[in-house]
Amino acid sequence: MTRSFGFNLPRLLGLLFLAAVVVDGSAAQSLIPQLDPDDPNPHSDVWLVSEQSSIRPGETFTVALRMTMDEDWHSYWKNPGDSGRETFIEWDLPEGFEAGEIQWPYPERVDLGPLTSYGYSDEVFLLTNVTAPEGLEPGTDVNLAGVADWLICAEICLLAKGEVSLSLPVSGDAPDTSEWADEIEDARRKLPAVAADWTVRALRSSGTYALHITPPEGRRIDLEGASFYPEIKGAIDHAAVQPVTQDGRAYILALQQSEYAQEPVDRMIGVLVAPKGESFVRGERRRALLVDASVEESQTAGISPVEPVEEGLSLGWAVLFALMGGVLLNLMPCVFPILSIKILGFARQSEDSEADIRKHGFIFASGVIVSFWVLAGLVLGLRAGGSE
């Protein structure tokens, strides 16, 4: 009888890769993104821009971290998904100035192998509201500065950092718009809308969440193909499909709970993005809707479980793929030279006594076996911890 294992091939290869990283410290070090002092912002660049050309004492105005990325490279949203890290800004503002939180435009889905992340490509404007103190003197200039810290990724990920600054004059008159006003306004339209006339409910049943989205009376909208981006990290399976069905006026979007979630979430918070051409706000181009709903338990509610893609893996295939993974890992640049050194060491032992050779072989084999038992214990411990 053939025995089948309940995990799929991507997870198996991912586990083999993780094992190699844990065992081989040099490999782990090579996989950790490092900041290159000679090129601190590779494949990307940042600037600080303002919506207006001057500021008045005591007013709140909008600035933006403008980020551009090379083709095929991307940065990350506030919840990066399966991998990545969001962008940070450490502000250096004059006394009395206060900067708010980053306002994030809705992201796009980034698929790389079995991983799904949320981020931005090409160009993005991350908005921040800044409040000036009352005591500013008209006719002077104010310098706003900060350090942006982000992760830029394609098939590899690189740490990036950039100093940004912006000088604005202080004026008692109403400020004019700047050359970046249109781009900042476009980014503002990509922020999730708070639409009180929409009804959103979140239901949970058998490891599946369902968002019930009901438009206002008389409002026609097509949400077929809509996408939900959760703000809560690790709440849902990012790679799973999000099928949309309709029940009367309500649209139902199914979400698969993450298999790594230690417990279900009590609130579903995130951004619902409508297909192109649709808007949640009448008369405006607002494709994103802010979702913040308490999760209710339901045994019916029309929730259709989202079936994850699972492939049964027989013992023979598991052994074959384990062998392939071992060959692949041993051919890595950080491992292969070590093998040649080990082989030369074996050759030099030909002149040793038989007892010394057996002793060395016993120690070498014991080290390998114990190392893999430690790895097995670590994996089983993590798995047990995640299922509690």
Interval 119-151: pLDDT, tens: 999 999 999 999 999 999 999 999 999 999 999
CA 169 to chain centre: 38
Tell me what the mean pLDDT of segment 223-231 comes to: 96
Q: What is the pLDDT of residue 219?
A: 86
Q: Measuring CA to CA, how many Å separate 245 from each of 47, 118, 149, 224, 302?
A: 42, 24, 40, 8, 10
Please give the pLDDT value at position 157. Answer: 92
Q: What is the pLDDT of residue 26?
A: 37
**Is 80 exceeded by the pLDDT of residue 387?**
no
Confidence band (pLDDT; 50, 70, 90) for 231? very high
pLDDT tens digit string along 330-359?
666 666 666 656 666 666 666 677 777 777
pLDDT over 90 (residue 60):
yes
pLDDT tens by residue, 69-104: 999 999 999 999 999 999 999 999 999 999 999 999
Domains of the chain: 4-15+311-387 (no CATH), 33-189 (2.60.40.10), 199-297 (2.60.40)
Residue 321 clears pLDDT 50, i.e. is over it: yes
At residue 302, does pLDDT exceed 50? Answer: no
Contact in structure between 170 and 139 (CB atoms under 8 Å)? yes
Confidence of residue 18 (pLDDT cuts 50, 70, 90): very low
Say which residue, 2 or 315, is predicted with more confidence: 315
> Given this model, what pLDDT does residue 381 score?
67
Tell me the percentage of the chain whose pLDDT exceeds 70.
77
**pLDDT higher than threshold 80 for residue 11:** no
> How confident is the model at residue 7, as a pLDDT?
45
> Which carries the bigger pLDDT value, residue 277 or residue 388?
277
- Residue 3: pLDDT band (50, 70, 90) is very low
Average pLDDT over residues 41-53: 95
Q: Which pLDDT value is given to residue 319?
A: 74
Convert the chain into a string of H (helix), E (strand) and C (coil).
CCCEECCCHHHHHHHHHHHHHHHCHHHHHHHCCCCCCCCCCCCEEEEEEECECCECCCCEEEEEEEEEECCCCEEEEEEEECCCCCCEEEEECCCCCEECCCECCCCEEEEECCEEEEEEECEEEEEEEEECCCCCCCCCEEEEEEEEEEEEECCCEEEEEEEEEEEEEECCCCCCECCCHHHHHHHHHCCCECCCCCEEEEEEECCEEEEEEECCCCCCCCCCCCEEEECCCCCECCCCCCCEEEECCEEEEEEEECCCCCCCCCEEEEEEECCCCCCCCCCCCCCEEEEEEEEEECCCCCCCCCCCCCCCEEHHHHHHHHHHHHHHHHCCCCCHHHHHHHHHHHHHHHHCCHHHHHHHHHHHHHHHHHHHHHHHHHHHHHHHHHHC
Nearest Cα neighbor of 289 from 279, 300, 298, 299 is 279
pTM for this prediction: 0.71
Confidence at residue 358, expressed as pLDDT on a 0 to 100 scale: 78
**pLDDT tens for each residue of 147-195:** 999 999 998 999 999 999 999 999 999 999 999 999 999 999 999 999 8
* Pairwise CA distance, residues 208 & 54, whole Å: 50
pLDDT at 37: 67
What whole-number distance in Å separates Cα of residue 85 and Cα of residue 119?
10
Mind listing the pLDDT tens digit for each residue in 233-287? Answer: 999 999 999 999 999 999 999 999 998 888 899 999 999 999 999 999 988 999 9
Give the range with max mean pLDDT: 47-61, 254-268, 307-321. 47-61
Above 50 in pLDDT, residue 24? no
Band of residue 368 on the pLDDT scale cut at 50, 70, 90: confident
Is residue 172 a contact partner of residue 138, using CB atoms and an 8 Å limit?
A: yes
**Does residue 328 or residue 219 have the better pLDDT?**
219
